[in-house]
Amino acid sequence: MGPEQIAGVMSIVRKAKAMRTGEKFDEKADAEIVKMVEDAAERMSHAFCSKQYALKDDGIIDPRDTRKIIAFCLSICNNTPIEGAKEYGVFRL
């Protein structure tokens, strides 16, 4: 989910809450909050920042080590027997 979508969803939720509770929805304040959320999400989406805060686990590889890592992964795939799954593994999105 990108920064605009995150901010948009949060805005929709705030607007729905205001309608549900009968409160007045302040469009100007909402626009400021949307901008703050977008900026924060954009800053935190940087690979090094997200890794620092454990938001995502993309496992950053130093470009100089790419061949070594790919060779290692292919070796694992080649030498590991194929078996049916007894359980589901970890899904990372």
pLDDT at 54: 58
Q: Tell which phi-psi region holds residue 85, choosing left (phi > 0), alpha (psi between -120 and 50) or beta.
A: beta
3-state helix, strand, coil in the chain (%, to 5): 65, 0, 35
Do residues 4 and 38 lie in contact, with contact meaning Cβ atoms separated by under 8 Å? yes
Provide the whole-model pTM. 0.51
pLDDT in tens, 16-66: 999 999 999 999 999 999 999 999 888 877 766 655 565 555 567 888 999
